[in-house]
Structure 1
Amino acid sequence: MNLSTKLFAGFVLISFIFTAVAIVNYRLSEDVIANSDFVSDSQNITRTSASLQRSLIDMETGLRGYLLTGKKSFLEPYNVAAELLPSQFSLLKEYEKDHPEQLRRVEEIEELHKQWRYDFAEPLIEEKERAMADTLASIEGISNLKHGYLVVNEEGKRLTDRMRIYFKAFNTIEFERRAVRKNRLDESIADTRYVSTSLTILSVLLGMGWAYYITRLITRRIMKMVNLADKISHGEYKTQIEDNEHDELTRLSDSLNRMAATIDKTFTELDSKNKELDQFAYVVSHDLKAPLRGIENASRWVEEDMGKELPGHIQEYLMMMRIRVHRMENLINGILALARVGKSNLQEENVDVQALLYELVDMLNPPAGFQFHIPSRLPTLRAAKVELQQVFSNLMSNAIKYHHGPEGNITILHRELDEVHEFSVMDDGPGIEPEYHDRIFVLFQTLQERDAVESTGVGLAIVKKIIERRGGQIRVESKLGEGSVFTFTWPKFKLTDS
C-alpha cells in the first residue's frame, strides 16, 4: 500500500468516526430535546391547570360573598374569572389534544363548570339582585331566594367537589407522566454524555495511534536515508538502503541508492584518473628534467671547451640559458607540489606557531636590512606542520622577494576569533594595485617580468589551495606604494595531549 493511501485511509477512518459521533450526538440530542419539550409542556399544563383551578375558586368565593353580603364588590373576582375561563379551558384542551384521557377530564370539568355557573350560580345572582332591589338594599337570607334550596341542599358544593376530584386525577396523571419523562430526560442526557465522550475518546485514541504509526513509519525510513547520506559524506559510497514497502519513500530510497552507486562509480573513476594523472605528472617531470639537465650540462661544456676564446655575449647567452633551465625546473617542481596538495596523508600534530616562525626566519636567511616582527604570544595549532610551514614560508619569502628596497619590515599579526585563528603577514613593500588582488592567486600569474624577479607563479596558488582545503580563507589588502597585508584563517581543532 502506498504511503499516500495509508495517510488517506487514516484520514477517512478518523473522519468516519467523527461523523459517527456527530450523527449519534444529533440523534441523542433529538431525544433530549423531545423529552425536554415534553417536560416543559407538562409544566405549562400544570400551571394552566392551577390557574384554571384558581379561577374556579375565585368564582365560587365571589359568589358566596355576594350571596351572604349582597355587596357587588364580591362579584368582581367572579366576573374576572368568568372572562378568563374560556381561554384557559381552550389552552388546556390544546395541550391535551394528543391525550384523549386527559382531554376527556378537561371536558368533563368544563361541563361541570357550565352546570355550576348556569344552573346554580347565575340564577342565584339574578335572584339576589332582584331581592336587593325590592328590599332597597336590605339583606335577605339565601333560603328566601327561589333557588336558595340549591345552596341549602349543597348542590353547588357537590358540583365543585366533583370538579376538584377531576382536577386531582388530572394533575396526578400529569405529574406521573412528567416524572416518567423527566427520568427519560435524565437518562438521555446521561446516555448522550457517555456515548459522546466514549466515541470522542475512541476517535482521539485511534487518531493518535494512526498518527504514531505513520510518524514511526516515516521517521524510521527517513533516518535510513539520513544515515545513508552521512555514510556518503564520510566516503562510504557502497552502502545501500533496504526498503521493501513499494511506496513513494521506496522510490526515494531507490533514487538515493542509485545516487550512491553513481557517486561510488564516479569516485572510483576519479581515483583511477587521479592515479593516472599522478603517474603522468611524475613521468613527465622526469622526462622534462632530463633534457633540462642535458641543456645545462651542454652549456657548461661549451664554456669549458672554449675557455677564454668564448665571446662575452656568448657567455651571457649561456648564462641566460641556464637561468631559464633553472626556472623551468622550479616550475615543474611547483606544479608537482601543487598536484600533491591533499593527496598525501600528512600526519597532524600540535604545532607551536611561534617556534615555527622563528625556524622559518632562520631558514629564509633574509638580507641584513630586513627585520621580522613576531608577537610574543602565538597559539598552538592542530595541523600538518609541513602545510602550515609552506603557507608561512611562501608569504614571508614573497614579502622579501618582491620588496622594492634593500631594507624592509615584515610583521606577523594574530587574532583569535570564535571558530578560527586569523594570521596576517604585513610588509612595507611596493604594494599591489587592487585590480590584481585576485590575479595573484591564479596559477602561473606574476606581476613582474620573470627576468626581473625569479618566480614561477605557483607559490600563492599552493598557499590558497592548502588554506581552502583546511576550511580557511585567504585575502590580500594592499594599495600601490603602501605595502601589502596577506590575511588567512585557520580553523580551530581540538588539541591532543603530547
Structure 2
Amino acid sequence: MKLSTKLFAGFTIVSFIFMAVTFINYNLSQDVLESSAWVGQSQIITRNSSSLQRNITDMENGLRGYLLTGQEEFLEPYTASKDQIPPLMRSMEKMVANSPEQVDYLQKINLLHNRWLNEFAEQLIAEKRNDMALNPNSGLSGLKTAGKLRAKFGKQLTDSVRVLFKEFNYYEYRVRDARTERLNQAINYTRNVSTALTIFSVLLGFAWAWYITRLISGRISTMVKLADKISKGDYKTQIADPEHDELSKLSASLNVMASTIDRNITELERKNKELDQYAYVISHDLKAPLRGIENASRWIEEDMGRDLPHGIQEYLMMMRVRVHRMENLINGILDLARIGRTKKMEELVDVRQLVVEIIDMLSVPSNFRIEIPTEMPHIYTVRIYLEQVFSNLLSNAIKYNDKPEGLIKVSYIESTQYYTFSISDNGPGIDPEYHDRIFVIFQTLQERDAMESTGVGLAIVKKILERQGGTINVQSEPGKGATFTFNWPKIPLQETNSFIGSN
C-alpha cells in the first residue's frame, strides 16, 4: 500500500467517525429537543389547567355574590370567566389530543361545567333578576331553583369538577415526571455517547498519526543511517525496502547513489594506484638521468683535476645546482600530489614543543632571533600537517631575510572555532600585487639562480589549510617585513591525510 493511501485511509476513517458522532448527536439531540418541547408543553397545559380552574372558581364566586347581594357588579368576573373558558378548553383539548386519558378528563369537566352553567347558574341568575325586578329586597327562598341550592346540586357539580381537575393535573404531573426523567436520560446518554465517540476518534487519530509518523521517521532514519555510512566510507551498504511506496523511490535512489559512489571510489582507488605507480616510475626515470649528469660532472672534475679551466668548473658547479633544483622540484610536485592521499592518525599536539623542534631542525643562523610565546595551545590533530605548515613558513622567513640581524615572531590568538597563528619577520617584504601569486605552484618572487627555491612550499601550505577548513593570508609591504597568518580549525573540515612538503 502506498504511503499516500495509508494517509488518506487514516483521514477517511477519522472523518467517518466524526461524521458518525455528528449523526448520532443529531438524532439524540432530536430526542432531547422533543422531550424538552413536551415538558414545555406540559407546563403550558398545567398552567392553562390552573387558569381554567380559576375561571370556573371565579364564576362560582361571582354567582354566589350576586345571589346573596343582588348586585350586578358581582357578575362581572362571572361574565369574564364565562367568555374565557371556551377558548381555554379548546386550546387544552388540542394540546392533549394525543392523550386519550387527558381528553376524557377534559370532556368530563366540560360536560359537568356546562350542566352547572345551563342547569343551575344561568337559571338562578335569570330567576334572581326577575325576582329583583319585582321585589328588590327579596331573598333566595322565592326562587324556583332554590331546591337545587338546598340539595347542593351546584356544589356537587363543582366538587366533581375539582376532583376531575385534580386527577387531570395528577396525570399530567406524572407523565411530565416520566418525560423529565426520559429527558435527563437522553441528555446523559447523548453526553456519554458523544464523549466516548469523540475520545475514541481522537485516540484513533493519534494512534494513526503515531503509526504514520513511526513509519515515515523509521524509514527516513534508515536512509539517514545509510547516508551516514556512505559519508564514513561504507559505500557497499544498501537499504532493503519492501514497501513499494513513494519513499521506496528515495530508497532506491540512495541505493543507486551508494552503488555509483562505490563504483566511482573503486575506480578512483584503482586510478590512484596507477598514478602512484606512474609517479614512482616518473620520479625514478627523471632522477636517474639527473644523477647521471651529476656523476658525469664530478668525473670530469676528477679526470681533469687541476687542468680543468676555472670557467668550466663554474659551469659544472652550476650544472649540479640545477640538477639538485630539478630533484627538489620533482620531490615537491610528488609531495603536493600526495596531500590527502593516505590517512594519518590524529594525536594531541603541543604546538610550542612542535615549533621548538622545527626551529632545531632548520639550523637557524646565529644572526637570527626567533620569539615564540611561553604558552601555546594543545591541539588534537594530525601532527605532520601542522608541522609542515610551520616548517615551510619558518624556513621561508629565514631563507628570504636580507637583514644583518633577522627577527621572527610567532604568536597566536584563540576564537570559538579557530586557532589563529601568525609568523612575522623583518625581511624585505612583499609587494601587495604579489600576495596571491606566492601561493601558486612554481611561482617565486626572485630568480632561482639568486635564491634556490622550487615554488612549491606555499602551495603545499595552502592546500593543507584548505583541506582542514582553514585559510592563510599575508600582510606585507616592501621593506617592512611580512606577516603570514593562518587559521587552524578546532574541528577539521574533513579527515586530513599525510603529506611531505619541501621548499
Q: TM-score, normalised by structure 2?
A: 0.88
Match of 1:121 in 2: 121
1:66 alignment counterpart: 66
- Partner of 1:412: helix, strand, or coil? strand
- Tell whether the 8 Å contact from 2:55 to 2:85 is kept in structure 1 after alignment: yes
For residues 43-74 of structure 1, the C-alpha deviation after alignment (integer angstroms, 9 at most, x for no partner) is 21111111111111122122212322334443
Per the alignment, do residues 148 and 447 of structure 1 end up closer, same or farther by CA in structure 2, a change over 3 Å counting?
Answer: farther
Matches of 1:425 and 1:403, distance apart in 2: 13
How far 1:178 moved relative to its partner? 2.0
Look up the match of 1:44: 44
Corresponding position of 1:149: 147
Give the corresponding residue for 1:380: 378
Whether contact under 8 Å (2:403, 2:426) holds in the other structure is no
Whether the 8 Å contact between 1:143 and 1:152 is mirrored in structure 2 is no
Aligned to 1:98: 98
Go from structure 1 to structure 2 and tell me whether the alpha carbon gap of 1:75 and 1:289 turns closer, same or farther (over 3 Å shift).
same
Residues 422 and 60 (structure 1 numbering): CA distance in 2 closer, same or farther, change over 3 Å?
same
Q: Which SS does the other structure have where 1:142 is aligned?
A: coil
Question: Corresponding residue for 1:463?
Answer: 461
Equivalent residue, structure 2, for 1:159? 157
Distance in structure 1 (CA, Å) of the matches to 2:147 and 2:480: 145
Is the Cα–Cα contact under 8 Å of residues 109 and 164 in structure 2 kept in the other structure?
yes
Q: 1:435 to 1:128 in 2, by over 3 A?
A: farther
Residues 26 and 291 of structure 1: CA distance in aligned 2, closer, same or farther (over 3 Å): same
Shift of 1:369: 3.8
Task: Give the match for residue 354 of structure 1.
Answer: 352
Corresponding residue for 1:484? 482
Matched, 1:267 2:272: no
Partner residue of 1:231 out of 225, 229, 232? 229
Cα gap change, 1:430 to 1:70, in 2 (>3 Å) = farther
Q: 1:54 to 1:430 in 2, by over 3 A?
A: farther
Match of 1:422 in 2: 420
1:77–1:454 distance in 2 versus 1, CA, 3 Å: farther
Structure 2 letter corresponding to 1:154: K
2:20 counterpart residue number: 20
Deviation at 1:476, TM superposition (A): 3.1
Deviation at 1:439, TM superposition (A): 3.4
**Offset of 1:246 from its aligned partner?**
2.3
Tell me how far 1:329 sits from its aligned partner.
Answer: 1.6
CA displacement at 1:10 relative to structure 2? 1.9
2:209 partner amino acid: A
Q: Equivalents in 2 of 1:70, 1:482: separation in Å?
A: 142
Residue number among 402, 405, 411 corresponding to 2:409 in the alignment: 411
Contact 1:65 1:74 in 2 (8 A): yes
Classify 1:79/1:297 alpha carbon distance in 2 versus 1 (closer, same or farther; 3 Å).
Answer: same
What are the superposed Cα offsets for residues 272-331 of structure 1, whole Å, 9 maximum, x if unpaired? 111111111111111111222333344455566667777766655554444333222211
- With over 3 angstroms needed to count, the CA separation of the structure-2 counterparts of 1:479 and 1:32, relative to structure 1, is farther
For residues 431 and 164 of structure 1, what CA distance do their matches in structure 2 show? 129
Change (3 A) 1:142 1:407: farther
For residues 105 and 384 of structure 1, what CA distance do their matches in structure 2 show? Answer: 110
- Cα distance in 2 for partners of 1:434, 1:87 equals 116
Q: Provide the C-alpha distance between the structure 1 equivalents of 2:208 and 2:491, rounded to a whole number of angstroms.
A: 46
Q: CA deviation at 1:126?
A: 4.3
Separation in 2 of the partners of 1:5 and 1:260?
29
Distance 2:281 2:275 in 1: 10
Counterpart residue number, 1:205 = 203
Q: 265-274 vs 13-22, which deviates more?
A: 13-22
3-state SS of 1:327 partner: helix
Q: Are residues 116 and 435 of structure 1, via their aligned partners in 2, closer, same or farther at CA, if it must alter by over 3 Å?
A: farther
Contact 1:55 1:81 in 2 (8 A): yes
Asked if structure 1 preserves the Cα contact closer than 8 Å seen for 2:46 and 2:169, the reply is yes
Change (3 A) 1:361 1:187: same
For 1:72 and 1:445, locate their aligned partners in 2 and report how far apart those are by CA, in whole Å.
139
* Counterpart AA for 1:186: N
In structure 1, C-alpha distance between the alignment counterparts of 2:80 and 2:425, rounded to whole Å: 122
Percentage of identical aligned residues: 59
Q: Provide the C-alpha distance between the structure 2 equivalents of 1:145 and 1:431, rounded to a whole number of angstroms.
A: 151
Classify the secondary structure of the residue corresponding to 1:220.
helix
SS at match of 2:237: coil
Q: Write the distance in 1 (CA, Å) between the matches of 2:102 and 2:204.
A: 52
- What's the counterpart of residue 499 of structure 2? none
Aligned residues: 492
Query: What residue is the counterpart of 2:240 in the other structure?
Result: 242
Q: Contact between 1:381 and 1:493, CA under 8 Å: does it hold in 2?
A: no
Equivalent position amino acid for 2:4 in 1: S
Aligned with 1:391 (options 389, 397, 413): 389
Cα 1:286–1:203 shift into 2, 3 Å? same
SS in 2 for 1:324: helix
Going from structure 1 to structure 2, the CA distance change for 1:362 and 1:118 (only over 3 Å counts) comes to same
Structure 2 letter corresponding to 1:207: G
Alignment CA distance shift 1:404-1:230 (3 Å): same
Partner-residue secondary structure (3-state), 1:144 = coil
Q: Deviations over 1:441-479 (max 9, x none)?
A: 232233344344332221112112223333433333445
Unpaired stretches in structure 2, ≥5 consecutive residues: 493-503
Deviation at 1:170, TM superposition (A): 2.4
TM-score, normalization: structure 1? 0.88
Distance 2:15 2:48 in 1: 48
The 1:77–1:286 alpha-carbon spacing in structure 2 relative to 1, beyond 3 Å, is: same
Out of 211, 214, 221, the position equivalent to 2:212 is 214
Q: Take 1:447 and 1:286, find their aligned partners in 2: how far apart are those partners?
A: 30
Give the CA deviation at 1:415: 1.8
- Specify the SS of the correspondent of 1:143: coil
Secondary structure at the aligned position of 2:217 is classed as helix
Matched letter for residue 474 of structure 1: I
Residue pair 2:418, 2:488 contacting (<8 A) in 1 also: yes
**Structure 1: unaligned runs, 5 residues or longer:** none
Query: How many angstroms does 1:435 deviate by?
Result: 4.8
Q: 1:48 to 1:294 in 2, by over 3 A?
A: same
Aligned partners of 1:87 and 1:164: how far apart in 2? 19
Corresponding residue SS for 1:330: helix
Structure 1 CA distance for aligned equivalents of residues 109 and 342 of structure 2: 119
Assess if the C-alpha contact under 8 Å between 1:420 and 1:489 holds in 2.
yes
Q: Secondary structure in 1 aligned to 2:194?
A: helix
Change (3 A) 1:84 1:344: same
Distance 1:455-1:78 versus aligned 2 partners, 3 A rule: farther
